[in-house]
């Protein structure tokens, strides 16, 4: 029988310092007694941000600040090394590796400062150093505990396109490389510790999968190796019914579907990188979200179907840093190209459109973008519609930054009558004004827009209406019986 293979990914806070890495080593050591596993690690928390800052400072010519930042990184990693690794040979080897990587960082920053230009390729190379620094530390900590392990750079494994900063994996060559490089290690009971976040083009140029991309690395490797499960170890107890800082009664959801998890990830629940589930959609490999700091907690299991029995609403999520843009006025009624021109404009300025709503009277098209994209988008729209504004065909293009999107998510809301009714009645009872509404025909998500000061109240009211605090508690206890 094929042994049960796990891929375990540990995020930045899970490898935040020596004592966190020691916990990780303990979790991995235990799992490695049961079966083969591949470990994927993020950079130590804060490291990627510092590297990116060093690169951007260098672009402006601020070499001193860049040097200062890299010096802080040296200290952080040497400090962890000193505590974690006692074996002089291993320690020496890792120390040499850290020095070499930091020299590389200096060279890249100096090159950037010299030409006053930070290319996307250089930025990828600099920001990748965090994972390249952390993987040997984690592998060393495992060896120190008697678990044979080897740090492996994902540039040897994950083949991507050349879209720097947000590359996509090419699964076929990735699979071939993973078989060639990782399978032999697994057969010898060696735990590979792979750098998250990075890959390389077929020509060998380093790329990154995008910020927070180590989750995606884990499912890419899981998919490529045909793993039995992927476990994302983070610093919260799985996926919650809502953000517990806003909704104190929020609880862990024992099991949700790929679809629901993807909806939640898209709408600002930060537990999972939005692309993570792409890599396992075909194979249906379950993905767990678990807490490194509370390893007894079962966390959340994400499966292709979720738990069939549970009807209705699963979770709520909200995003605040967004703005509402409206293009409207009676002048646009029946104008055939307004929608097309509006969204070709957002696409030209690379604004990510999060929600769209247009009533059938066509008086008004409104949509939501991240606030960081809002001004650029409105300027471009005013330019696009300059002629029409002059002739009053379009009467206004407005921007409202003081809003939030709240999304009510649940795969089995589909076909369940009354979900929208209950949501909006409770908001009415709470006297919360709804600015816009959207529900796609997939019916897995009802999104509405409220003013940002109403967001928390809206979340609390809907959470209570659907008894999300108690419902999930019941599910957990019936599941463990």
- Interaction site with Mg ion (CB under 5 A): 11, 212
Q: In whole angstroms, how close is the CB of 298 to ligand ASP at the nearest point?
A: 23
Answer with the entry of ligand ASP, Mg ion, none that 254 interacts with (C-beta below 5 to 8 A by kind). none
- Scanning 159-167, 183-191, 207-215, 369-377 for contacts with ligand ASP by CB under 6 A, the matching segment is 207-215
Closest CA to 133 of 86, 167, 100, 85: 100
In angstroms, rounded to a whole number, what is the distance separating the alpha carbons of residues 470 and 466?
A: 9
In angstroms, rounded to a whole number, what is the distance separating the alpha carbons of residues 217 and 376?
A: 32
Q: In whole angstroms, how close is the CB of 120 to ligand ASP at the nearest point?
A: 15
| Residue ranges in 116-175 that form contacts with ligand ASP under rule CB under 6 A | 130
Nearer to Mg ion, 11 or 192 (CB): 11
Could you write out the DSSP letters of every residue in 438-458?
Answer: EE-TT-SEEEEEEEGGGHHHH
Q: In whole angstroms, how close is the CB of 434 to ligand ASP at the nearest point?
A: 35
Is the CA virtual torsion 99, 102, 107, 108 positive or negative?
Answer: positive
Cβ contacts of 234 within 8 Å, gap of 6 or more:
11, 13, 14, 271, 289, 290, 291, 292
Is the CA virtual torsion 320, 277, 154, 288 positive or negative?
Answer: positive
Bridge-based pairing of strands 364-370 and 353-358 is antiparallel
- Residue 214 makes contact with ligand ASP by CB under 6 A: yes
- Residue 212 makes contact with ligand ASP by CB under 6 A: yes
Q: In whole angstroms, how close is the CB of 212 to Mg ion at the nearest point?
A: 4
Interacting residue with ligand ASP among 43, 139, 159, 450 (CB under 6 A): 43
Answer with the entry of ligand ASP, Mg ion, none that 196 interacts with (C-beta below 5 to 8 A by kind). ligand ASP
Nearer to ligand ASP, 50 or 456 (CB): 50
Q: In whole angstroms, how close is the CB of 41 to ligand ASP at the nearest point?
A: 9
Q: In whole angstroms, how close is the CB of 158 to ligand ASP at the nearest point?
A: 13
Joined tokens for residue 170: 């090419």
- Using CA atoms, how far residue 401 sits from 224, 304, 327, 372, 377, in Å, is 43, 36, 15, 10, 13
In angstroms, rounded to a whole number, what is the distance separating the alpha carbons of residues 434 and 196?
A: 41
Q: In whole angstroms, how close is the CB of 369 to Mg ion at the nearest point?
A: 24
- Residue 36 makes contact with ligand ASP by CB under 6 A: no
Three-point CA angle 186, 83, 23, nearest 5°:
50
- Scanning 40-48, 286-294, 342-350, 410-418 for contacts with ligand ASP by CB under 6 A, the matching segment is 40-48
- Residue 12 makes contact with ligand ASP by CB under 6 A: yes
* Chain contacts with ligand ASP (rule: CB under 6 A): 11-12, 42-43, 48, 130, 196-197, 211-214
């Amino acid at each position: 029988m094929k042994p049960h293979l796990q891929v375990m990914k540990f995020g930045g806070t899970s490898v935040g310092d020596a004592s966190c890495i020691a916990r990780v080593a303990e979790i991995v050591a235990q799992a490695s007694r049961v079966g083969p596993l591949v470990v994927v690690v993020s950079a130590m928390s804060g490291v990627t941000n510092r590297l990116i800052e060093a690169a951007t400072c260098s672009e402006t010519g601020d070499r001193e600040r860049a040097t200062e930042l890299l010096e802080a990184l040296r200290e952080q990693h040497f400090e962890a090394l000193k505590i974690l690794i006692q074996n002089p040979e291993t320690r020496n080897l890792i120390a040499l590796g850290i020095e070499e990587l930091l020299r590389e960082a200096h060279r890249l920053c100096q090159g950037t400062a010299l030409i006053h230009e930070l290319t996307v390729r250089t930025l990828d190379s600099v920001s990748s150093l965090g994972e390249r620094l952390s993987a040997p530390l984690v592998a060393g900590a495992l060896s120190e505990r008697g678990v044979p392990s080897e740090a492996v750079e994902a540039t040897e494994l994950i083949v991507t396109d050349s879209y720097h900063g947000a590359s996509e994996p090419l699964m076929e060559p990735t699979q071939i490389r993973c078989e060639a490089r990782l399978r032999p290690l697994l057969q010898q009971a060696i735990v590979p510790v792979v750098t998250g976040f990075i890959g390389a083009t077929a020509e060998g140029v380093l790329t990154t999968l995008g910020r927070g991309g180590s989750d995606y690395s884990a499912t890419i490797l899981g998919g490529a190796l045909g793993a039995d499960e992927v476990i994302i170890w983070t610093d919260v107890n799985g996926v919650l019914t809502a953000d517990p800082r806003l909704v104190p009664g929020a609880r862990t959801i024992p099991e949700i579907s790929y679809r629901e998890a993807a909806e939640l990830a898209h709408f600002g629940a930060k537990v999972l990188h939005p692309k993570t589930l792409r890599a396992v959609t075909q194979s249906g490999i379950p993905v767990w979200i678990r807490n490194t700091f509370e390893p007894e907690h079962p966390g959340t299991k994400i499966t292709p179907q979720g738990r069939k029995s549970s009807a209705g609403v699963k979770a709520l999520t909200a995003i605040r840093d967004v703005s509402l843009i409206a293009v409207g006025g009676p002048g646009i009624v029946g104008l055939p190209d307004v929608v097309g021109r509006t969204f070709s404009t957002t696409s030209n300025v690379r604004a990510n459109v999060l929600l769209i709503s247009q009533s059938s009277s066509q008086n008004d098209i409104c949509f939501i973008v991240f606030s960081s994209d809002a001004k650029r988008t409105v300027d471009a729209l005013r330019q696009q519609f300059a002629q029409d504004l002059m002739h009053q065909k379009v009467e206004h293009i407005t921007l409202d930054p003081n809003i939030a999107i709240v999304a009510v998510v649940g795969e089995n809301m589909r076909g369940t009558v009354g979900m929208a009714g209950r949501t909006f009645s409770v908001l009415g009872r709470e006297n919360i004004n709804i600015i816009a509404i959207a529900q796609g025909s997939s019916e897995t998500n009802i999104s509405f827009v409220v003013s940002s000061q109403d967001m928390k109240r809206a979340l609390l009211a809907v959470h209570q209406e659907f008894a999300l605090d108690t419902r999930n508690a019941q599910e957990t206890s019936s599941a463990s019986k």
